[in-house]
Amino acid sequence: MAKPKSPKKREEIFNAALRLFSRNGYSKTTIKDISEEAGVSFGTVFTYFEHKEALFHACVTEPLDEFRNHLLDAKESLDTLTIDKLKSLVAQHITFFLEKEDYLRVVQYVIGQPERFSEMEMLDEFAEQFMELVKAIVTTGMRKGFLPESDPDEIGYGYLAFLMGARLTFTDHANVQLTNAFKNQALRLFGVLD
Amino acid sequence: MAKPKSPKKREEIFNAALRLFSRNGYSKTTIKDISEEAGVSFGTVFTYFEHKEALFHACVTEPLDEFRNHLLDAKESLDTLTIDKLKSLVAQHITFFLEKEDYLRVVQYVIGQPERFSEMEMLDEFAEQFMELVKAIVTTGMRKGFLPESDPDEIGYGYLAFLMGARLTFTDHANVQLTNAFKNQALRLFGVLD
Amino acid sequence: MAKPKSPKKREEIFNAALRLFSRNGYSKTTIKDISEEAGVSFGTVFTYFEHKEALFHACVTEPLDEFRNHLLDAKESLDTLTIDKLKSLVAQHITFFLEKEDYLRVVQYVIGQPERFSEMEMLDEFAEQFMELVKAIVTTGMRKGFLPESDPDEIGYGYLAFLMGARLTFTDHANVQLTNAFKNQALRLFGVLD
Amino acid sequence: MAKPKSPKKREEIFNAALRLFSRNGYSKTTIKDISEEAGVSFGTVFTYFEHKEALFHACVTEPLDEFRNHLLDAKESLDTLTIDKLKSLVAQHITFFLEKEDYLRVVQYVIGQPERFSEMEMLDEFAEQFMELVKAIVTTGMRKGFLPESDPDEIGYGYLAFLMGARLTFTDHANVQLTNAFKNQALRLFGVLD
DNA sequence: CATGAATGAGGCTTCATTCAT
DNA sequence: AATGAATGAAGCCTCATTCAT
């Protein structure tokens, strides 16, 4: 009975890869870098991931599930939506995006070179779902009267663009002031002025 | 002491490089690719740019001047700012950002790997200047009464984040509907609801 | 002191190795390939053979005994040799060589790279013994009058060369016509025209 | 005006490769070995041959033309064929085969692993042509009366097998006695006893 | 100036072997 | 005895850079 593949080791490699891919991009990151960061030998990386590409693919696609859970579950509570719930939802989004620095940089890397990475497709699909949710929120808000007349499509595009831009344009995200700025600005996209 | 080399050939190489760097990133782009795209032999690239790095550096920094001209010259007409002028200014910004696809992808590439590229510094500086302008606009707008009470700093951060996000999150920028969405949404960041 | 390990498993590994070495050569054949062909895990291969080299060595040397038995036992019946017995002996040789496809390919592999494989020595020794037998046959045949005047040495060399060439030059050995051709041609080397 | 690719350097690499492939086989031979043997740097090999495989392919196929010239041109003088001409032709073949040691070892390598190397096809084609020539010779010889009744097909197969076997089974080819043995034995395949 | 042959460092990947389970 | 995870040496190939023509 030999040692079975250790899920823990896989995770360490995965995390090391995500960290390095996000800081240095795909090509600049070497398997050796990853193995050292993960504290395993060079060859071990290939025990858990067939290719460098497969490892990158995992880094792009696997965290998407967590995103789906965090971002799309608001769908079920649309009926009870209020202006306060919206505000807390937006705050949650901002916080979540600012937290997932490593992952979103990798996503940014893929988005920036869409012809190069086939993973783009999955990201597009997720973006689509997210914008659908936003549109449903806007529609509900207008019906309930706590959001001003707006084009739900436009807010869908604008809100996602803003979340990404907030995360990707600035480096200094420990800054509380910045976080608050983003929360307020995001609400303005929904037409909420304060 | 102008170099006697052909400025036209330099430009062709530069444009080819910008195009390829923006689509494939720094490491994936080879000098040979660039030389072929530019229609010169690959040795010629080294006649005009000492290194691959120097060529990349040029791609990141040289277009910044045009950005400065387009984006920062509003500073001089703050006195005569009106709500309509603001609307047209924002529209201009959106259009300009959406137009400069290749360049902004390269910028995105650098921003995404700030530790890797020393050019980040110059981009930061530009961002600072741009946000200063935005703050001045907001202050003026509030004083003149056509903008609601806001925190100028927050709008500075938010507006730049939005412009970048708009450019970087979506691929399909020929879309007119998308452009309009962004214009309207951008105005909302300033507190302008329609 | 027999090893307690399963002789059956050893044989399966051995046969798998012989088959794969013969088709793909030494370097192209991996231990994993062999283990899969043999239906065991690849660690098990190392239980029965210390090295890859040891396994190859076994493949080259172990079947030699069977060759010795089949090819050299004619030595004892030289006294009663007749032209008909010679014909049947030659037919037997041809058949035997054509049968041992896998093994002879491995031998061919070693012969083709004699500096590389130390096993060459044993093969040389066997060749020497075989040619001695042929020479004895020729001498006997001439003395008994059923073989024409010949140089026994020349026939020794020529006959072995022919047997190897017959086996190694063509792929299509199921062909009966080919087998017959070889039998007739081999006899001609002995000076027997029909 | 840059240096054009030097045909001389290509040939040096080619010869080094042929020599090493023939002694050590495909996999055991490294590009580094070849470059050192050829007296060029590692990278230069790739200037002249795209792959290791391409280099091997060249080693197998390019010398075939010389073989065609040497072995197949007898076709034109069939009308004037005599027993003496046949003897000298056979002697020529033997000499030629014994001379081309490096090349024929590579051929042997391919023949020994026909499923592995696509070059096998071309070798088969050449063998076909050569055997056609042999058959024509035999038919002519029988018609002219200097060769005994024989099956031309059988001699075709047998003669080629013998030439290959002569070359491949023994290492010691400087030996004059061996060469003579092969010449005499080869003639016996045609039914010529002395 | 333009060209592209020559160079060799560095990356990905394969695979024999070791050894804990 | 059997297994297969871990290791790292070694090979192929790419590509930035140099430099002779």
Query: Across chain D, which distance is largest between two alpha carbons, in Å?
Result: 66
Indicate whether A1 pLDDT > 60.
no
Average pLDDT value for residue range B176-190: 93
Q: How far apart are CA C164 and CA C53, in angstroms?
A: 24
Which CATH architecture is the domain C63-189 placed in? Orthogonal Bundle (1.10)
**Other beta carbons within 10 Å of C174:** 8
The verdict on C113 touching D (C-beta cutoff 8 Å) is yes
Give chain E positions with protein CB within 7 A: 1-21
- Min Cα separation A93/chain B (Å): 15
Q: Which fold has domain D7-60?
A: Arc Repressor Mutant, subunit A (1.10.10)
**Other beta carbons within 10 Å of D39:** 11
> What are the pLDDT digits (tens) for C108-139?
899 989 989 999 999 999 999 999 999 999 99
Half-sphere exposure of B96 (CA within 13 A, CB side): 16
- How far is residue B153 CA from its own chain's centroid? 20
The verdict on B7 touching A (C-beta cutoff 8 Å) is no
Name the one residue in this structure whose structure tokens are 């047209």: B88
Measured between beta carbons, the chain C residues lying within 8 angstroms of D112 are 22, 25, 105, 108-109, 112, 168
Tell me what pLDDT residue A98 has: 87
CA gyration radius, chain C: 19
The proportion of chain A whose per-residue pLDDT surpasses 90, expressed as a percent, equals 76
Position with higher pLDDT, D117 vs A194: D117
Model confidence at A3, in pLDDT bands (50, 70, 90)?
Answer: low
B154 → chain A, closest CA residue: A181
Tell me what pLDDT residue A175 has: 82
Contact C165 D170 (CB under 8 A): no
Tell me what pLDDT residue C4 has: 59
Indicate whether C2 pLDDT > 50.
no
Tell me what pLDDT residue A169 has: 87
Average pLDDT, chain C: 92
For each of chain D's 194 residues, which pLDDT tens digit applies? 566 788 899 999 999 999 999 999 999 999 999 999 999 999 999 999 999 999 999 999 999 999 898 888 888 889 999 999 999 999 999 999 888 989 999 998 999 899 899 999 999 999 999 999 999 999 999 999 999 999 999 999 999 999 999 988 887 776 888 999 999 999 999 999 87
Position with higher pLDDT, C141 vs C167: C141
Q: Name which of A112, A118, A137, A128 is nearest A56 in CA terms.
A: A118
Q: How far apart are CA A19 and CA A102, in angstroms?
A: 6
Tell me what pLDDT residue D170 has: 86
Q: How far apart are CA D63 and CA A76, in angstroms?
A: 75
Indicate whether C143 pLDDT > 70.
yes
Tell me what pLDDT residue A2 has: 59
Using H for helix, E for strand and C for coil, what is the string for chain A?
CCCCCCHHHHHHHHHHHHHHHHHHHHHHCCHHHHHHHHCCCHHHHHHHCCCHHHHHHHHHHCCHHHHHHHHHHHHHHHHHCCHHHHHHHHHHHHHHHHHCHHHHHHHHHHHHCCCCCCCHHHHHHHHHHHHHHHHHHHHHHHHHCCCCCCCHHHHHHHHHHHHHHHHHHCCCCCCHHHHHHHHHHHHHHCCCCC
Å between CA of A37 and C1' of E13: 20
Average pLDDT value for residue range C5-22: 92
The SS3 assignment for C82 reads coil
The verdict on D176 touching C (C-beta cutoff 8 Å) is no
CA gyration radius, chain D: 19
- SS3 of chain C: helix, strand, coil, percent, to 5: 75, 0, 25
Highest CATH level, class, for C7-59: mainly alpha
Query: Across chain C, which distance is largest between two alpha carbons, in Å?
Result: 60
Q: How far apart are CA D60 and CA D26, in angstroms?
A: 11
Q: Are B177 and B108 in contact (CB under 8 A)?
A: no
Average pLDDT value for residue range A172-180: 83
- Among all strands, which nt has the closest C1' to C3 (CA)? F1
Q: Return residues 114-133 of B near A (CB < 8 Å).
A: 114-116, 127
Tell me what pLDDT residue B4 has: 60
How buried is residue D80: exposed, middle or buried, by Cβ count under 10 Å (0-12/13-18/19+)? exposed
Average pLDDT value for residue range C58-72: 91
Handedness of CA B85, B87, B89, B91 (dihedral sign): negative
Paired tokens of B184: 């309207």
Q: How far apart are CA B55 and CA B18, in angstroms?
A: 9
Tell me what pLDDT residue D31 has: 97
Q: Check if B7-60 and B63-189 are the same fold.
A: no
Q: Name which of D144, D145, D158 is nearest D188 in CA terms.
A: D158
Q: Where are the domains of chain D?
A: 7-60, 63-189
What is the DSSP-derived secondary structure letter of residue B74?
G
> What are the pLDDT digits (tens) for B15-60?
999 999 999 999 999 999 999 999 999 999 999 999 999 999 999 9
* End-to-end Cα, chain A, rounded Å: 64
Sorted by sequence, the CB contacts under 8 Å of residue C46 that are 6+ apart come out as C31
Average pLDDT value for residue range A55-78: 91
Å between CA of C52 and C1' of E15: 11
A: neighbours with 3+ CB pairs under 8 Å? B
Indicate whether B2 pLDDT > 60.
no
Q: Are A17 and A63 in contact (CB under 8 A)?
A: no
The SS3 assignment for D126 reads helix
The SS3 assignment for C117 reads coil
**Element containing residue C93 per DSSP (H, E):** helix C83-99
Indicate whether A83 pLDDT > 80.
yes
Q: Are D22 and D63 in contact (CB under 8 A)?
A: no
Select, from the ranges A90-99, A111-120, D48-57, the one with the highest average predicted confidence (pLDDT). Answer: D48-57
> What are the pLDDT digits (tens) for C89-108?
999 999 998 889 899 999 98
The SS3 assignment for D179 reads helix
Handedness of CA D144, D146, D149, D152 (dihedral sign): negative
Tell me what pLDDT residue C1 has: 40
The SS3 assignment for B192 reads coil
- Among all strands, which nt has the closest C1' to A4 (CA)? F5
Average pLDDT, chain A: 92
Q: Return residues 32-91 of B near A (CB < 8 Å).
A: none
Q: How far apart are CA C139 and CA B135, in angstroms?
A: 113
